[in-house]
Amino acid sequence: MEKMKTRKVILDVDTGSDDAIAIMCAIKAESIQLEAICTVWGNLTVDKTTLNTLGLCEAMGVEIPVYAGCNRPMVKDRSKYRDLEDSYEPLIIDGKELKIHYDRLEGIPEPSRKEEDRHAVRFYYDYLIEATEPVTIIATGPLTNLGFLFRLAPQLAEKVEQLIIMGGGVHITNCSPAGEANIWHDPEALQIILDTGIHPLLVPLDATHAAALNLDDCARLESLDTFAARFTAKLARQRIEYESARFGEYHSFSAIHDALAVCASIDESVLEDVQELACRVGLSGSADGDILIDRREVPEEVNVSIALSANKEKFVAMLCELFAN
Amino acid sequence: MKKKVILDVDTGSDDAIAIMTALLSPDIEVVAICTVWGNTALENTTENTLRLLSRMGLEIPVYAGVPTALAKYLSPERDVPAFIEAEVDGEVVKMHDDLFDLPEPDYTKEDLPAPFFYIDYLSETEEPVDIVAVGPLTNLGFALSLKPEIAAKINSLTIMGGGYNVANVTGSAEANFWHDPEAVQIILDSGVHPTIVPLDATHKAIITKEEISKLRVSDNFCSNFAAGLMEQRVLVHSEVQPLYLPDSATVHDALAVAALVDREVLQDVKDLNLNVCFTGVAEGRCVIDRREAPAESNCSFAFSADRERFVGFLIDTFKNFNER
**Burial label, A4 (beta-carbon count in 10 A; 0-12, 13-18, 19+):** middle
User: How wide is the angle at C-alpha B231 spanned by C-alphas B229 and B234, nearest 5°?
Assistant: 115
Strand segments (E) across B168-253: 195-197, 207-208, 248-249
Q: Between chains, do B145 and A154 touch, taking CB under 8 Å as contact?
A: no
Q: Considering only CB atoms, which chain B residues are within 8 Å of A151?
A: 66, 68, 70, 142
* Higher pLDDT, residue B229 or A5: B229
Searching chain A, which residue's CA lies closest to the CA of residue B180?
A75
Our CA-based measurement puts residue B104 at a distance from the nearest CA of chain A, in whole angstroms, of 25
To the nearest 10 degrees (0 to 180), the angle between helices B221-240 and B13-24 is: 150
- Residue A2 is assigned to a structural domain of this protein: no
Distance, in Å, from the CA atom of B184 to the CA atom of B162, rounded to the nearest integer, reads 10
Q: Between chains, do B146 and A192 touch, taking CB under 8 Å as contact?
A: no
Which distant-in-sequence residues (6+ apart) come within 8 Å of B145 by Cβ?
A: A70, A72, A74, A148, B186
Contact A179, A173 (CB under 8 A): yes
pLDDT (0 to 100) of residue A84: 79
Q: Does A75 touch chain B (CB under 8 A)?
A: yes
DSSP β-bridge partners for residue B299: B272
Long-range contacts of A290-295 (CB under 8 A, 24+ apart): A290/A173, A290/A178, A290/A179, A291/A168, A291/A169, A291/A170, A291/A180, A291/A183, A291/A202, A291/A204, A293/A170
Q: Between chains, do A151 and B278 touch, taking CB under 8 Å as contact?
A: no
pLDDT (0 to 100) of residue A285: 85
Distance, in Å, from the CA atom of B188 to the CA atom of B159, rounded to the nearest integer, reads 11
Our CA-based measurement puts residue A126 at a distance from the nearest CA of chain B, in whole angstroms, of 10
* Higher pLDDT, residue A133 or B84: A133
Q: Does A92 touch chain B (CB under 8 A)?
A: no
- Rg, C-alpha atoms of chain B: 18
Q: Between chains, do B115 and A152 touch, taking CB under 8 Å as contact?
A: yes
pLDDT (0 to 100) of residue B93: 83
Q: Given a cut of 80, is residue A187 above it in pLDDT?
A: yes
Q: Between chains, do B75 and A75 touch, taking CB under 8 Å as contact?
A: no
Q: Are strands B266-272 and B91-94 parallel, antiparallel or unpaired?
A: unpaired
Q: Between chains, do B145 and A79 touch, taking CB under 8 Å as contact?
A: no
The string of pLDDT tens digits covering residues A72-108 is 999 999 988 887 777 678 899 888 899 989 999 999 9
To the nearest 10 degrees (0 to 180), the angle between helices A227-247 and A46-60 is: 140
What's the gap between Cα B78 and its chain centre? Answer: 23
Ranges under pLDDT 70 in chain B? 83, 324
pLDDT (0 to 100) of residue A156: 98
For the beta sheet containing B154-160, the strands, ordered from the edge strand earlier in sequence to the opposite edge, are B62-64, B28-35, B3-9, B129-133, B154-160, B195-197, B299-305, B266-272
Q: Between chains, do A152 and B279 touch, taking CB under 8 Å as contact?
A: no
Searching chain A, which residue's CA lies closest to the CA of residue B182?
A75
pLDDT (0 to 100) of residue A195: 97
pLDDT (0 to 100) of residue B31: 98
Q: Between chains, do B145 and A70 touch, taking CB under 8 Å as contact?
A: yes
Considering only the beta carbons, identify the residue of B66, B71, B147 that sits closest to A188: B71
Our CA-based measurement puts residue A7 at a distance from the nearest CA of chain B, in whole angstroms, of 29
Q: Which of A168, A172, A127, A120 is nearest to A146 (CA)?
A: A120
pLDDT (0 to 100) of residue B276: 95
Q: Between chains, do A78 and B278 touch, taking CB under 8 Å as contact?
A: yes
Domain that holds residue A138: 7-322
Our CA-based measurement puts residue B289 at a distance from the nearest CA of chain A, in whole angstroms, of 15
Q: Between chains, do A122 and B189 touch, taking CB under 8 Å as contact?
A: no
Q: Which of B320, B74, B8, B93 is nearest to A284 (CA)?
A: B74
Question: What is the tally of structural domains in chain A?
Answer: 1
Identity at A253, one-letter amino acid code: F
The string of pLDDT tens digits covering residues A213-248 is 999 999 999 999 999 999 999 999 999 999 999 888
pLDDT (0 to 100) of residue A159: 97
pLDDT (0 to 100) of residue A3: 53
DSSP characters over B102-167: SPPPSS---SS-HHHHHHHHHHH--S-EEEEE-S-SHHHHHHHHH-GGGGGGEEEEEEE---SS--
Q: Considering only CB atoms, which chain A residues are within 8 Å of B190?
A: none
- Residue A1 is assigned to a structural domain of this protein: no
State if pTM tops 0.90: yes
Q: Does A294 touch chain B (CB under 8 A)?
A: no
Q: Between chains, do B66 and A152 touch, taking CB under 8 Å as contact?
A: yes
Interface of B with A (CB under 8 A): 65-68, 70-71, 74-75, 113, 115-116, 119, 142, 145-147, 182, 185-186, 189, 278-279
pLDDT (0 to 100) of residue A316: 98
Q: Considering only CB atoms, which chain A residues are within 8 Å of B113?
A: 125, 152-153
Q: Between chains, do B113 and A152 touch, taking CB under 8 Å as contact?
A: yes
Q: Between chains, do B145 and A148 touch, taking CB under 8 Å as contact?
A: yes
Q: Between chains, do A283 and B71 touch, taking CB under 8 Å as contact?
A: yes
To the nearest 10 degrees (0 to 180), the angle between helices B252-261 and B307-317 is: 80
Is the ipTM higher than 0.85? The answer is yes
pLDDT (0 to 100) of residue B81: 72
Q: Given a cut of 80, is residue A1 above it in pLDDT?
A: no
Q: Does A195 touch chain B (CB under 8 A)?
A: yes
Our CA-based measurement puts residue A169 at a distance from the nearest CA of chain B, in whole angstroms, of 20
- Residue A287 is assigned to a structural domain of this protein: yes
pLDDT (0 to 100) of residue B33: 98
Domains of chain B: 3-320 (3.90.245.10)
What is the CATH classification number for the domain harbouring A272? 3.90.245.10
Q: What is the three-state SS of B257-280? A: HHHHHCHHHEEEEEEECEEECCCH
Angstrom distances, CA of residue A242 to CA of A151, A253, A257, A288, A319: 37, 10, 15, 26, 22
Dihedral over alpha carbons A265, A271, A276, A278 (to 10 degrees): -90
DSSP β-bridge partners for residue B5: B30, B130
Q: Between chains, do B113 and A154 touch, taking CB under 8 Å as contact?
A: no
Considering only the beta carbons, identify the residue of A74, A154, A283 that sits closest to B70: A74
Q: Considering only CB atoms, which chain A residues are within 8 Å of B68?
A: 151
pLDDT (0 to 100) of residue B97: 85
